[in-house]
Amino acid sequence: MIKLEKQDGIATVTLSRADKQNALNFAMFVSLNNTIKNIKKDRTIRAVIIKGDGDHFCSGLDIAAVMASPLNIIKLLFKWLPGNQNLAQKVVLGWQSLSVPVIAQINGNCLGGGLQIALGADYRIVHNDAKLAIMEARWGLCPDMGANVMMGGLVKRDQALLLASHANPITAEQANELGLVTQLTNNTELATQTLLSTLLERSPDTLAAIKRITQLSYKSRQRKILAKETWSQIRLLTNPNTKKAIAKAKGKSDIKYKNAKRW
């Protein structure tokens, strides 16, 4: 379900569940994490492209598939220390651990966990007709894949809050205005190759140094954010309002939420 192709120093990672708009199941999380490790060990790789199979980048988490096994939820969220990365966070922030440029090539739907993975890339080449969203709030959950670490360097605080809270798709143009997009285009393949051509003219050591320096200049309190993401998600998964939110998302209109707990 995750394809890795290496050619001429370029690693192309493809999310491949086209019949499900490349929705993420547990096996894909494991495979993505292993793919990042594979690329990290390969000194011949000069750049990485992440894309989706078919017409869409990724429609987000396959809720039914993941929720069908409580053990998989535990495996996604488990970590030895609060500030460490769990599996869900590794498939986003893992791209930042690579010393080479990572480009997300986005067509069609880029929703929920799909957008969070794209936010882990260094560049986002987005088709003009694409739709983007952080959708966890629709299911009574919060973004918990490490994207909050990245958002601080891209989007103003109130816009980040609104984007995660309203949980509705926005257009590529709106995403560009917010700062989520590196380049809008009608041909993501051509735009990606053009960017690659420019980057590959530079020394790989230069690109690695620039990436690390830039990361430091935008460095947030990563461990604290990762701990808060996971703890909040665990609380929400056991919260009665979450079940109500799921029912509401499935079409029930007579939902009344209980008073919020203290956060």
Residue 44: per-residue pLDDT: 96
Checking if the pLDDT of 219 tops 80, the result is no
Q: What is the mean pLDDT of residues 93-109?
A: 97
- How high is the pLDDT of residue 248? 81
The pLDDT-based confidence of 147 (bands split at 50, 70, 90) is confident
Of 70-79, 86-95, 103-112, the poorest mean pLDDT is in 70-79
User: Nearest CA to 233 among 160, 148, 175?
Assistant: 148
Tell me what pLDDT residue 201 has.
95
* pLDDT value for 249: 82
Instruction: Report the pLDDT value the prediction gives residue 263, as an integer from 0 to 100.
Output: 79
Q: How far apart, in whole angstroms, are the C-alpha atoms of residue 95 and residue 62?
A: 22
Query: What is this structure's pTM?
Result: 0.90
pLDDT digits (tens, 9 = 90+) for 124-138: 999 999 999 999 898
Location of structure tokens 């320096």: 213
Cβ(61)–Cβ(134) below 8 Å: no
The predicted model gives 235-260 an average pLDDT of 83
Residue 245 pLDDT: 86
What is the Cα–Cα distance from 104 to 141, expressed in whole angstroms?
Answer: 25
Quick one: pLDDT at residue 69?
79
Tell me the two tokens of residue 182: 């590196």
Distance CA 160, CA 137 (A): 13
Using DSSP's 3-state secondary structure scheme, residue 23 falls into coil
- Digit-coded pLDDT (tens) for 16-65: 999 999 999 999 999 999 999 999 999 999 999 999 999 999 999 887 77
Interval 193-214 mean pLDDT: 95
Task: Measure the CA–CA gap between 151 and 7, rounded to whole angstroms.
Answer: 31
- Percentage of the chain with pLDDT > 90? 65
- pLDDT at res. 83: 85
pLDDT reported for residue 79: 85
When comparing pLDDT for 250 and 165, which is higher?
Answer: 165
Q: What are the structural domains, with CATH classification, of the chain?
A: 2-205 (3.90.226.10)
